[in-house]
Structure 1
Amino acid sequence: MTTLFDAAPATTTAAGPRPGSRLYRVAGLDISLTGTGIASAGGTVRIPTKGRRKDSIVDRHARLRYITTRVLDEVGTVDLACVEGPSHASMGQAGHHDLSGLWWRIVGALVEREIPVAVIPPMSRAKYATGKGNSRKAVVLDAAQRRYGAILPSDDEADALILRAMGLHHLGQPLAEVPDGHRAALAGCQWPDLPEVAR
């Protein structure tokens, strides 16, 4: 089927939880126009798309709708969705306006499904992964692969896995032990009230 933008099939890799007791259903979402990363109990997935400068409003809307639909299909029903918050340092970059619209489309759809949403600042995600809030994505990717034994072909999936790990840690079920300095990153996040989730 022809689409209004270039889209490659999503790639899936195994990066599930450690064996043991049942974990809460937590999803991590690294929302992006070019490669949204999603992590869940079943592993990680990346949803890549490509836009063009000449794209019309209709084209751009179709791209955002496509990504949102794919994300919601991948997430399904969870106890908590951990979404990376806006990167204020990149506000001047091309596509920021569309990325903001995509972020709100996805978060709004999760809220409408009554899925609790946690917002994780980019620096908190990096700090939880590496101990330093200014770590580059490649460093976060390496840390995620080492700590969780995951095979992650992209930093989008690594970020999503870290976001999921943070949500599980917040709920008292960390995927792995992390140093105190890393764990301190949990305090800088916007966590929703979860009255129905026993902790």
Structure 2
Amino acid sequence: MTTQTLFDQTPAAGLTPRPAAVTHRPLVIALDVAIGTTGVAGEGWTDHVHATATTLHGRFQQQLDGIVSFIRNADKVVIEGAAFSKARLQGMDQLAAMRWMVRHELWRRGIPYAIVPPDNRTIYATGKARWKDEETGTRLTTTQVKGMVRDAVRDRYGVDCTGRWRYDEADAYVLLAMAYDHLGAPLAEVPQTHSRAVAGCDWSEFTPAVAS
């Protein structure tokens, strides 16, 4: 976790959905939303929201309260979307509910947001969504790939995600980097094999949102 004052950053007005470049970066916050622990990232820092309530509704509320404390002054927010390839259905409806509560809160506050699929996040960080061991050809585990993502965040952006929730925080930072890349203000240069992931995301809601 990197300590930095979240609300000292200056937002830039008048951004179009895909500008060629921006002089001042807007305040973008990235969220890897979960019911248990949500990874959070802003430029140069990461954090998390950890829910400890014993009931599902209690964890929902703890997550929303914690997330709002990070996004209330944001110009834009980027969120990790669902992995539709997952065969497991248990708990997926609950996680979907959590994600949609966050989206609704952003809509209510008039904060534009974008959704990034998990595979795109991994591609942007590492160049591929699926990895195999070079010697054995065995497919790497989810944890091993998440370790690669975390290492990429450290090496490319100088943000070292440590502690129990390091993977959640690293995932969020990659989402953040993708959002700034889309806005024409990348946090670092990435190869085309990685940056291609940006084009595969839905940025349509990154335009100004108006509650009605």
User: Which of the five TM-score ranges fits, normalised by the shorter chain?
Assistant: 0.7 to 0.9
Query: Are the counterparts in 1 of residues 112 and 207 from structure 2 also a CA contact under 8 Å?
Result: no
TM-score of the two chains, using structure 2 as the length reference:
0.75
How much has 1:22 moved relative to structure 2?
A: 3.3
Q: Which runs of 4+ in 1 moved over 4 A?
A: 193-196
Q: Which moved more, 1:84-93 or 1:137-146?
A: 84-93
* 1:47 alignment partner in structure 2: 49
Counterparts of 1:1-199 in structure 2, within 5 Å, are 12-14=1-3, 22-41=24-43, 43-50=45-52, 59-90=55-86, 92=88, 94-134=90-130, 136-153=145-162, 154-192=166-204
Where structure 2 has 5 or more consecutive residues not aligned to the other structure, the ranges are 6-22, 132-144
Work out the percentage of aligned pairs sharing the same amino acid.
34
Query: Are the counterparts in 1 of residues 123 and 197 from structure 2 also a CA contact under 8 Å?
Result: yes
TM-score of the two chains, using structure 1 as the length reference:
0.80
Query: Are the counterparts in 2 of residues 35 and 46 from structure 1 also a CA contact under 8 Å?
Result: yes
Where structure 1 has 5 or more consecutive residues not aligned to the other structure, the ranges are 1-11
In the TM superposition, what whole-angstrom CA distance separates every residue of 1:90-130 from its partner, at most 9, and x where no partner exists? 35154222211111111110111111110101010000011
In the TM superposition, what whole-angstrom CA distance separates every residue of 1:63-86 from its partner, at most 9, and x where no partner exists? 101101100111222222110010
Higher strand share: 1
Query: Are the counterparts in 2 of residues 31 and 84 from structure 1 also a CA contact under 8 Å?
Result: yes
How much has 1:193 moved relative to structure 2?
A: 5.4
How much has 1:41 moved relative to structure 2?
A: 3.3
Question: Distance between the aligned counterparts of 1:101 and 1:80, measured in 2?
Answer: 21
SS in 2 for 1:13: coil
Question: Distance between the aligned counterparts of 1:68 and 1:131, measured in 2?
Answer: 32
Query: Are the counterparts in 1 of residues 113 and 205 from structure 2 also a CA contact under 8 Å?
Result: no
CA RMSD of aligned residues (A): 2.1
Question: Distance between the aligned counterparts of 1:109 and 1:42, measured in 2?
Answer: 25
SS in 1 for 2:51: strand
Question: Distance between the aligned counterparts of 1:138 and 1:41, measured in 2?
Answer: 21
